[in-house]
Amino acid sequence: MIQFAIEKANRVLVIAHVDPDGDAIGSLTAVGQGLQQLGKRVTLACDDNVPPRFQGLPLAGEVRRAPRADVQYDLIVAVDCADESRMGWAYESLPEPKPTLANIDHHITNTRFGAFNVIDPAASSTAEILHRFLKEIGVEMTAGIAESLLTGIVTDTLGFRTTNVTAATLRAAAELVDAGADIADISLHSLHQKPFSTAKVWGIGLSHMEFEDGLLWTSISREQMQSAGLEGTPNSSGLVNFLVDVDQACMGVVLSETLDGDVRVTMRAQPPYNVAEVAVQFGGGGHALAAGCALDGPLEQAETRVVAACHEAIRRQRAAVPTK
């Protein structure tokens, strides 16, 4: 039982997935606060930096890029990670034998890689699972934990608009508001506001998007990023959400070239279409309506392969459900 493992543990390493989103950071910091409340010594780790819009969450300033080398952990808790590789170097770098691993997640593609697996693909977010789970292990819902969890729910559901929002999601959110989370503030800062550089990335993507047989897609190259004065790999989740909401789009796809020449692909679908089926073909994963994967470059070649796979999936899935 995971409850006993947590009870026994003194030093816990909590890991959120690489390239973290609001559910990853919200879940990471909520578990951190909850375990501290239970008297555990906690390290929070994530391979990539906490995005600025989540840096105001409790404990966000204590998220490390790697585990502490001077600490021997007796438990690892992975949050929002669909498979082992999503934990990145934060897990890989731990010496063997690695500590017992607990896997808390809501991705339908989760590989159950933990010794303990708390997986609920029907949950809107890992934060929604944690809302139940933290109570079950005796954590009192503080305003800080509520703020972290509601950030996870609000961002993963795009403000309660996704098809996996249930009455249970709304009840969890209501309880978090009762516990002191400010829903208007969380929605504004974690969901709507974005840096100007993000708007510029959208401009690049929208300027040459293509629309064919239900697939609306675009790509963003390193050269385009550089000539717009932008650095790093673009955050394309807002753009891909925008694309899939266009009339007649069944799937939206954004391909972004990273600094090392790989291609990161973010995909969205409208029901009843399913982009997780496409993502797994390229070693990725996710949900039916939101998934991702990474391919080797060059960008044009990756684009050809992904576009062909999406078109094939749209035809197949359309035939399976003749209503749309």
Our CB check for Mn ion shows the closer of 158 and 177 to be: 158
- The minimum distance between CB 197 and Mn ion, in angstroms, equals 24
- Among 19, 80, 83, 257, the residue binding Mn ion under the rule CB under 5 A is 80
Q: Is 277 in the site for Mn ion (CB under 5 A)?
A: no
- The minimum distance between CB 54 and Mn ion, in angstroms, equals 13
Nearest to 55 by CA among 78, 26, 12: 26
- The minimum distance between CB 23 and Mn ion, in angstroms, equals 3
> Using an 8 Å Cβ cutoff, are 293 and 284 in contact?
yes
**Rounded CA separation 102/7 (Å):** 13
- The minimum distance between CB 106 and Mn ion, in angstroms, equals 6
Alpha helix segments (H runs only) across 70-188: 89-92, 126-136, 143-156, 167-178, 183-187
Helix-helix angle 126-136:22-37, to 10 degrees: 10
Q: Could you give the string, one character per residue 54-73, with x where binding to Mn ion holds by CB under 5 A and - elsewhere?
A: --------------------
Q: Could you give the string, one character per residue 250-269, with x where binding to Mn ion holds by CB under 5 A and - elsewhere?
A: --------------------
Q: Could you give the string, one character per residue 119-138, with x where binding to Mn ion holds by CB under 5 A and - elsewhere?
A: ------xx------------
- The minimum distance between CB 96 and Mn ion, in angstroms, equals 29
Neighbours of 19 (CB within 10 A): 19
- The minimum distance between CB 165 and Mn ion, in angstroms, equals 13
First CA to last CA distance, the chain: 44
User: Could you tell me the strand order of the sheet in which 41-45 lies?
Assistant: 63-64, 41-45, 11-16, 75-79, 101-105, 116-119
- The minimum distance between CB 252 and Mn ion, in angstroms, equals 18
Q: Which stretch binds Mn ion (CB under 5 A): 80-88, 89-97, 268-276, 311-319?
A: 80-88
Site for Mn ion in 148-177 (CB under 5 A): 156
Nearest to 30 by CA among 163, 210, 179: 179
**How many Cα atoms sit within 13 Å of 324 on the Cβ side?**
15
Nearest to 73 by CA among 31, 44, 53: 44
Our CB check for Mn ion shows the closer of 83 and 156 to be: 156
Our CB check for Mn ion shows the closer of 228 and 280 to be: 280
Q: Could you give the string, one character per residue 11-30, with x where binding to Mn ion holds by CB under 5 A and - elsewhere?
A: ------------x-------
Give me the residue whose beta carbon is nearest to Mn ion.
23
Residue keyed to tokens 């010496």: 95
Our CB check for Mn ion shows the closer of 23 and 257 to be: 23
Nearest to 121 by CA among 255, 287, 8: 287
In the complex, which residues of this chain contact Mn ion (CB under 5 A)?
23, 80, 125-126, 156
